[in-house]
Structures are given as C-alpha cells and as structure tokens.
Amino acid sequence: MRLDAFLPAAVEGLSRVRAKALILDGHVTIDGRAVREAKHGVRTGETVAVTLPPPEPAEPEGEAIPLDIVYEDDDLIVIDKPAGLVVHPAPGHSGGTLVNALIAHCGDSLSGIGGVRRPGIVHRLDKETTGLLVAAKNDAAHRGLAAQFAEHGRDGGSLVRGYKAIVWGVPTPLKGTVEAAIGRSTKNRKKMAIAKDDDAHAREAVTHYVVDAVFGPKGAPIASLLSLELETGRTHQIRVHLAAIGHPVMGDPEYGAGMATKAAKLPEPAQSLVRALHRQALHAFLLGFEHPVTGEAMEFEAEPPADMAAIIAALRDA
C-alpha cells in the first residue's frame, strides 16, 4: 500500500492530502528513516511513525465580526449569514469575510484543517444572499460535510437546502423543476448563464420550486413567493434558473436588472420597499444534514431577514 494511503487508514482524522504534505515535509519515518515519497510502499512488519506538527496560524487573520450563531458544537458551527457578508477572502475582499469572523470566534477550537487553523467551508452563499451556512471546525467534520454536499442528497442522505425567493411574476406550473446546465457567460465572464449544448465546461444544474403565495390583482399578478430546493449546487444557480424561465429574483442586480420598472406597478408601501432593496431577495431558510461525527440528523430553519419580511408583508396587504 502507498504510504499516503496507509497513513489516513492508520491515523484517525488524517486526510490523504494532509498525509502527503506531512510526507513531503519529512514528518514521516519508516523504521526510523525519513521517507519523502508519497507513493513509497509500506510492507508488513515495518514501523511507520508520523509527527504531527502544531497547526500553523490561520491566514487570513481573525476579525471580530458579529455572527448570528444558530448552532455550535466541537465539530461544526451553523450561522445565519447576513446580506453583504462575503464568505471567502478573495481579490477585493481580503478581509471582513465570514472566514475572518469564524477564525476569530472559534479560536483554538479549530484543530487545523489541512494543517492550518481555519474553518472548513463546504458550501457558499452569494455576498447578498442571506441564510443558513455550516462550517467545519476540524478535518473529520470537514471530510464528512464535504462528502454530503458533494452528493447533494442524491445518495439518500439527509442533506437538504431550502431557499425562499420573491420573484417577478408567477411561474407556471405552480410546482416544477428547472433543469438546465449552467456555465460561464460568454458575454460577461463574471456572470453565469444557461449553457449551450456545445459548452464542454457546463455543469448539470437542477432546481425544484413551489409557489407559496401570489401577489397582485387577481388575473394580473405582479410577484410571487417561492420555496426552492437545490439538487445541485452551482454558482448563482437559483438566480440563473429563475431568470431563464422569465421570473428573476426581485432586486437581483445581475440577472433581473431589466425588471426594475416593474416596481412602479406595486402599491405603496411595497413599491418603496422594493426600490430600497439593493440585493436579490433570496434567503437560505432551511439546512439539513447528517452530523459528520455523531451521525445525528440535524435540521435548522431561519426566518427571512427584515428587508424580505417587510416586502412580503406589504405585498400580502396590497
């Protein structure tokens, strides 16, 4: 057996990627001799020793950013992300992210994912999308959660991701599925789009929806409230799929900009509330998964934030 395969099987909580890094850095010996080749074969009777150095300080650094914590234990943390909070540091967002906040909040409870004290992010929400997000605190939890999100619940597991969206118009039928591959837009590389048949880089995308409420005069509805469930997890998936069927998310600056004039058809105070909404009205209200360490089925719900709740209330009263 290869050394980089043997170590994860022998050392609980050690990933193959981490094992390879330890081998290359000279932290693994066989019969007292350092071995730096990940593919080196391990033979019966040999003594393999591994030294686990303390996790390196996190990069980026922690920042004291307030978090709405829904649940937390030694292995993971679930938060209700507000609008405007970027999940991962990136060019233009080197600080002030959810990762910075989690590093500061979790502190020494982070056991060193990949050798560095930082949270394990297994899924993301767009900057202006609100709602539930789970992060791992250690390698074991990270691997377990990552495996579930990779399967998207198709393996019969308990993973479920539910969203609420206020959209323009009313989808037909009132309950349905949007199944269309998504790829990078050829017109704007910062955006995603329904892929063409010859797009080799496109990825399968499936979104299920149900219309919860219809707003506007009978026979001429203006907007509706949807519950959505993801069967895949592509970048901007819900926003792209809903725009593709002619019902973009209200307030979406990238995929629903052409619908801005529709706000004029709304009565007050709904009209003013919609005009003041400078983000997509999309909220991850439901998150369910199997605890990656205990195996317990876990499910969390979060009510829509104040801006969406106010619009929904105003539209109901209109």
Catalytic (active-site) positions:
126
Q: Cβ neighbours of residue 192 under 8 Å, at least 6 residues apart?
A: 182, 183, 184, 185, 234, 235, 236, 237, 240
Three-state secondary structure along 199-255?
A: CCCCECCEEEEEEEEEECCCCCCCEEEEEEEECCCCCCHHHHHHHHCCCCECCCCCC
Phi-psi region of 301 (alpha: psi -120 to 50; beta: other; left: phi over 0): beta
Amino acid type, 196: K
In whole angstroms, give the CA distance from residue 245 to residue 86: 28
